Amino acid sequence: MRDQNGKASAAHIKIKSRPVNLFERLQRLVTDSGTDRNHQAIVAITVCIGERVDTLKAICEVMARLGFKTSHVAAILKTSTGSDPARHHWSKNEAGHYHLLT
């Protein structure tokens, strides 16, 4: 296509971004998070909670698809849950939903 001055222009081209699903994003994050499985788990769990995959069962299901043992995920969730941001990453309410500490 040409612009008003007769020069070739690509201004009319619209590039559609392909949405990436949560699982694909998590796979990339785990791969890019180094080799420490605890760190990889914390990163992935944090993203899950931020995306409202926020119960023990739901998080364990996603993490198992990523290759994590559910016992490992449950242990990470337990030790990283609390109200002290210096030691914890998230909290859990009475209904069993995890929330990121801010």
Domain layout of the chain by residue ranges: 22-100
**Is pLDDT at 9 greater than 60 in this prediction?**
no
What is the predicted pLDDT for the residue at 45? Answer: 97
Q: What is the mean pLDDT of residues 7-17?
A: 58
Q: What is the mean pLDDT of residues 73-84?
A: 97
Euclidean distance between CA atoms 45 and 22, whole angstroms: 12
Could you tell me the maximum CA-CA distance found in the chain, to the nearest angstrom?
A: 66
Q: Residue 2's pLDDT band (boundaries 50, 70, 90)? A: low
Euclidean distance between CA atoms 77 and 8, whole angstroms: 56
**Is pLDDT at 23 greater than 80 in this prediction?**
yes
